[in-house]
Amino acid sequence: MRIIKRPTLREFAGRHPKTGRYLDDWQRVVRAAAWNNLADVRRTFPSADLVKVASGRQVTVFNVCGNAFRLIVAMHFDRQRVFVLRLLSHAEYDKENWKAEL
């Protein structure tokens, strides 16, 4: 899978240093993957979940650092692309304001 907006991950890791190692590992796994659906993703990341947003589309949410942060991406299995959309603390994620923006 190709990750789009990788600099966003680096920026987030810079602001939240404890996420750096997880995000590096996540990127390495995703780049090596050839997922075709959410079931494939969940074999590697069992807690990955689909969430419907205001646009009507679904995004995939990954728990980061023991659920302290959430990584929100759009997965395009047909094109083998993962678009990084948001990186939020758990508290920011729980406010759900981000859903209206996507």
Instruction: Give all domains of the chain, ordered by start, each with its CATH number.
Output: 2-101 (3.30.2310)
Contacts of 9 (CB under 8 A, 6+ apart): 3, 23, 27, 84, 87
* pLDDT tens column, 54-74: 999 999 999 999 889 999 999
Place 85 in a pLDDT band, splitting at 50, 70 and 90: very high
pLDDT score recorded for residue 52 = 96
**Which phi and psi angles does 19 have, rounded to 5°?**
-85, -15
pLDDT score recorded for residue 82 = 98
* pLDDT tens column, 11-32: 988 988 999 999 999 999 999 9
> Is a pLDDT exceeding 90 seen at residue 6?
no
Q: Is the pTM of this model over 0.75?
A: yes
51, amino acid identity: V
